[in-house]
Amino acid sequence: MNIIYHCFGGAHSSVTTAAIHLGWLATSKKPTFEELLQIPYFEVQIGADHGIFRYMGEDEKQNKVFILGRRNLKDNFEKLTYGLAKIYGRKEDFLLIDTMPYVNWKMVIGGSLSRGLEAPKLGRKIVLQGVQDSFFKYVAFVEQIKREYLNIISS
């Protein structure tokens, strides 16, 4: 299975959710700023990176985990991707997961300042606080995905 976590810019929510999925972050406590900044692709994606699938790793069931910044495509991204997969008889090989439902205002403002306006000194602290604020929502989300779609029971 190819699991693709996608969001607007591919720099924060999809990256954090993929890291939780892969077990890179402890799920019992909020990650520190330093722990978040150590995740590959966190806070580094730029406009030119949008639409590029970034491989993050394999989970405990050998599912491949990717992230993607899909800008304003939103629902159309899933229609397009699943449509192509269906044409090639591979639709069951993909699970597309939108991480935007748990993005909060700090992540939007901080991400816009940091990545959109290329002012990381202004936006980074705000976006990091936002990720920390939503962290346990992302943990619950990943646990739900693993339980309902991947038959991975968390301990």
Phi/psi of residue 70, nearest 5 degrees: -115, 10
Per-residue pLDDT, 154: 63
Beta bridge partner(s), residue 6 = 68, 98
- Residues 91-148 pLDDT 10s: 999 999 999 999 999 999 998 888 777 777 888 999 999 999 999 999 999 999 999 9
Domain assignment present for residue 27? The answer is yes
| 32: containing domain | 2-102+137-149
Domain assignment present for residue 119? The answer is no
Residues 6+ apart with CB under 8 A from 83: none
Domain assignment present for residue 122? The answer is no
Residues 6+ apart with CB under 8 A from 132: 30, 31, 36
Computed over every residue of the chain, the mean pLDDT equals 92
Domain assignment present for residue 39? The answer is yes
Question: Which residue in the block uniquely carries the two structure tokens 């816009």?
Answer: 112
Q: How many domains does the chain have?
A: 1
User: Is the whole model's pTM more than 0.85, yes or no?
Assistant: yes
- Residues 27-82 pLDDT 10s: 999 999 999 999 999 998 877 888 899 999 999 999 999 999 998 887 789 899 99
Domain assignment present for residue 108? The answer is no
Domain assignment present for residue 75? The answer is yes
Question: Which residue in the block uniquely carries the two structure tokens 């939103």?
Answer: 74
